[in-house]
Amino acid sequence: MSTAACDVLVIGGGLVGAAVAWGVARAGATVCVLDEGDDAIRASRGNFGLVWVQGKGDGMPDYAAWTRDSAGRWLELAAIIGEQDGIDVALRQPGGLEPCISEAEWVERELQVRRMHNQPGVGGNDVRMISAAEARELEPALGPEVVGASYCPHDGHVNPLFLLRGLHAGLARHGVDHRLDHWVESVRPDGDGFAVRTAHGTLRAGRVVLAAGLGNVRLGPLVGLDVPTEAERGHILVTERLDPVLSHPMGRLRQTEEGTVMIGASADRVGLDTSLDLATAAALAARARRVVPALGRARLVRSWAALRIMSPDGFPIYAESENHPGAFVVTCHSGVTLAAVHALYLAPSMLQPGFNDRYAAFHPRRFGGAEAA
Ligand X SMILES: Cc1cc2nc3c(=O)[nH]c(=O)nc-3n(C[C@H](O)[C@H](O)[C@H](O)COP(=O)(O)OP(=O)(O)OC[C@H]3O[C@@H](n4cnc5c(N)ncnc54)[C@H](O)[C@@H]3O)c2cc1C
Longest Cα separation, the chain: 70
CA–CA gap between residue 304 and residue 222 (Å, rounded): 33
Q: Using the rule CB under 6 A, give the single segment among 2-10, 80-88, 170-178, 207-215 that binds ligand X.
A: 207-215
**Residues present in the chain in total:** 373
Nearer to ligand X, 13 or 55 (CB): 13
Interacting residue with ligand X among 27, 53, 265, 291 (CB under 6 A): 265
User: Is 234 a residue that touches ligand X (CB under 6 A)?
Assistant: yes
Beta carbons of 18 and 35 less than 8 angstroms apart: no
Q: What are phi and psi of 248, to 5 degrees?
A: -125, 145
**What is the 8-class DSSP label of residue 125?**
G
Contacts of 282 (CB under 8 A, 6+ apart): none
Q: How many CA atoms lie within 13 A of 275 on its CB side?
A: 6
Q: Using the rule CB under 6 A, give the single segment among 101-109, 127-135, 187-195, 327-335 that binds ligand X.
A: 327-335
Contact positions with ligand X (CB under 6 A) in 182-201: 183-184
Beta carbons of 365 and 371 less than 8 angstroms apart: yes
Interacting residue with ligand X among 5, 31, 34, 237 (CB under 6 A): 34
User: Is 171 a residue that touches ligand X (CB under 6 A)?
Assistant: no
Beta carbons of 236 and 271 less than 8 angstroms apart: no
Q: Using the rule CB under 6 A, give the single segment among 105-113, 132-140, 326-334, 356-364 that binds ligand X.
A: 326-334
Beta carbons of 174 and 347 less than 8 angstroms apart: no
Q: Using the rule CB under 6 A, give the single segment among 48-56, 78-86, 87-95, 269-277 that binds ligand X.
A: 48-56
User: Is 159 a residue that touches ligand X (CB under 6 A)?
Assistant: no
Q: Using the rule CB under 6 A, give the single segment among 290-298, 301-309, 321-329, 350-358 that binds ligand X.
A: 301-309
Burial label for 21, CB within 10 Å (0-12, 13-18, 19+), is buried
Nearer to ligand X, 137 or 185 (CB): 185
# binding residues, ligand X (CB under 6 A)? 41
Interacting residue with ligand X among 63, 239, 337, 350 (CB under 6 A): 337
Shortest reach from residue 232's CB to ligand X, in Å? 7
Q: Tell me the C-alpha to C-alpha distance, in Å, between residue 282 and each of 66, 139, 263, 292.
A: 35, 24, 11, 15
Shortest reach from residue 70's CB to ligand X, in Å? 9
Nearer to ligand X, 44 or 125 (CB): 44
Shortest reach from residue 17's CB to ligand X, in Å? 5
How many Å from the N-terminal Cα to the C-terminal Cα in the chain?
A: 23
- Point out which residues bind ligand X (CB under 6 A): 11-17, 34-36, 40, 42-44, 46-50, 52, 183-184, 211-213, 215, 234, 236, 264-265, 306-309, 331-337
